[in-house]
Chains A and B, each alone.
Chain A
Amino acid sequence: MATSLFPSATAAVEPPFLEWRTRLVRQRWRQVATGGTIALLVAITAWRCQVNLASFLLGIDKGVPIFGLFFPPDWASLPSMLKPMLVTLVLAMIATILGIVLSVPCALGASSNLAPTPIRLILRFFIALERGLPEVVQILILVAVFGLGVIPALIALSLSSIGMLAKLLADAIEEIDPNMLEAVAGTGATTIQVIRYAIIPHILPALLANGLFRFEFNVRAGVILGAIGGGGIGYIMRSDMLTLDYQAACMATLLTLSMVFATERLSDFLRARILDGGQMRRGRQRRSIAGAAAQ
């Protein structure tokens, strides 16, 4: 395109022309058009939804004093909150472990290079259904069945953990080099032996890393589900808010924050060790770059 606009391109080109050509090639107008479109859409929505800066500022004006009611946090309520916090933490842990254990058979059955088509389609449908329903919707249904308490939250979290981990694992299994599977099967190994010695070693690091990631998610989701009726720290937080005990609610929030932060740090650390060439088990030297490449 640029050469047709400047037929003399093959001859001497002065620096200003080069600059113009650069601008033409970079197609700045596209960026301008994109930015303009977004601005226009924002303006239209703001107008249609009657977004009003004045009411926003008024809200801040009203809200800041209420925000002040949260402080100082009610330290006296801390001991009574430790147990609910532990409930949420254990809930996330059990849900994650159940998810990790049960997602393996689901993933094996859902991968196209292992399972016969009918089984695979059924499992893929189940996984898609699980992933399509948010935990909040699941727990609303489950609370109707089991009543309030930890059990519906546990089931909802476990099911969605299975859904996510099985999907990721099934994709990981499908990416395994078929030649490698043939090489192991070629020694006369049975399908179970191929799974045990070729597939499991390959997916184990991904399973553990994703499982830790899911654990973080489950801690956070456990708080939300608790608020809806699943017990634990989320439930305490919500009831404190409803009884206008803002300082206790602030304590619960701080506790939740520290819990989430601690689990995230822990799982980051463990995940880094697992992805570090999967060598943690054998206590070998660290090979961060080569290990990541091999992964």
Chain B
Amino acid sequence: MLSVENIEVTLPNGKRLVDNISFTVARGEFVAILGSSGAGKSLTLRCIVGLTQPSHGNISILGETGKTYSTTNVDAKGLRRARRHIGLIFQGANLVKRLTVLENVMLGRLGFISPLRSCLIGFKDAEARDAMVALDRVKMAPFAARLAGSLSGGEMQRVSIARAIHQRPLIYLADEPISSLDPKNAEAIMGILQPLSRETPVVGAFHQPAMVAKYCTRAIGIRGGKVVYDGSPDLSPRQLENIYSGSDGDPIPMPALSEQTPIGPSPFFVQPASHQAPRDLGHGAPN
């Protein structure tokens, strides 16, 4: 179980990027965090992993045996101890491209291996077998010997999920895991994450409300660093509008960006075309 209590991230200039966010995630939940770019989704996830330290608030993960792991207000050792119970899935998969797929999956358990052993001897055969099981779960076992750099985006994302599975975490965090994938691959990834969430809760940042409605069990809407929605993943257009309106205190002026998109090609592409127009006329006239 994950509990996030009143976390705040404040820039040195006083701007509050994450403003008093609290939520808890229980067993069996597949939570989607929705919000426009810059709303604080990724930052919240980064805080949970301890990659960013919140200026205020508490984050703790409750283990099976009743032990709690915190990623806030802990020293480097405590942070590592907590991190190894969090399975991370990133937008870009972030595999080590120069290692094989199997080695990448085995990296998931680095936190449980003594640094001396991992440097001198490396991984054991039993760990490799476990990693293979995790790979098989995402249907990537035939690729085990390939270099990670030679995979496609969707395949990389599957491997990064296998890496998280092999870690056997208490919670999975997915930061926009399907944003850089095509719809088919995105469906496949969600299809892997959904059964996973029945055993271990998954918290993910998403941009696709339709996918969220289809696969998730709960949605949290963040706007301007605040939680503005928490409930059913099946959001009405009005509720979505509320989450994505980005009015108060949004660090990035989202309305300006969203106004430009319907026009079509950006001004950058429009300009050369208008320059070319008279020259085309000049060429065309003699014919």
**A residues neighboring B (CB under 8 Å):** 3, 9-14, 177, 179-180, 182-190, 192-193, 196-198, 201-202, 204-205, 277-279, 282, 284, 287, 290, 294
Contact = CB atoms under 8 A, between A and B. Distances in A.
Nearest to A201: B98
A202 B98 contact: yes
Contacts of B286: 12-14
A9 B109 contact: no
A257 to B, nearest CB: 37
A187 B98 contact: no
Contact of A294 (B51, B147, B282): B147
B97 interface: yes
Interface stretch (B76-84, B220-228, B257-265): B76-84
Nearest 5 A/B pairs, CB to CB: A188-B111, A188-B84, A183-B94, A189-B110, A201-B98
A187 B96 CA distance: 13
A279 B147 contact: yes
B115 A183 contact: no
Nearest to A2: B279
9 contacts: A179-B94, A180-B94, A188-B111, A189-B107, A189-B110, A197-B99, A197-B107, A201-B96, A202-B96
A80 to B, nearest CB: 47
Nearest to B88: A186
Given A10-B278, A180-B96, A196-B118, 20 more contacts: A9-B278, A9-B279, A10-B281, A12-B282, A12-B285, A13-B282, A14-B286, A179-B90, A180-B95, A180-B97, A184-B110, A186-B51, A186-B88, A188-B112, A192-B115, A193-B113, A193-B115, A197-B118, A201-B96, A294-B147
Contacts of B281: 10
A198, A279, A284: which has the most chain B beta carbons within 10 Å? A198
Nearest to A198: B96
Question: What is the predominant secondary structure among interface residues of chain B facing chain A?
Answer: helix
Question: What is the predominant secondary structure among interface residues of chain A facing chain B?
Answer: helix
Contact of A190 (B80, B90, B107, B285): B80
Given A179-B94, A186-B83, A277 B147 contact: yes
Contacts, number: 107
Nearest to A277: B147
A190 B115 CA distance: 7
Contacts of A180: 94-97
Contact of B108 (A14, A182, A187, A279): A187
Interface of B: 49, 51, 80-86, 88, 90, 92, 94-100, 103, 107-113, 115, 118-119, 145, 147, 149-150, 160, 163, 167, 278-279, 281-283, 285-286
B92 A179 contact: yes
Nearest to B123: A197
A187 B169 CA distance: 9
Contacts of A184: 96, 107, 110
A185 B285 CA distance: 64
B86, B88, B96, B115: which has the most chain A beta carbons within 10 Å? B96
B278 A204 contact: no
A187 B167 contact: yes
A290 B150 contact: yes
A254 B16 CA distance: 73
A257 B84 CA distance: 57
Contacts of A179: 90, 92, 94
A187 B84 CA distance: 5
Nearest to A287: B150
A278 B147 contact: yes
Contacts of A290: 150
B119 A196 contact: yes
Contacts of B94: 177, 179-180, 182-183
Nearest to B87: A187
A284 B150 CA distance: 12
A180, A183, A193, A204: which has the most chain B beta carbons within 10 Å? A183
Contacts of B160: 183
B282 A192 contact: no
Contacts of B147: 277-279, 294
A277 B100 CA distance: 12
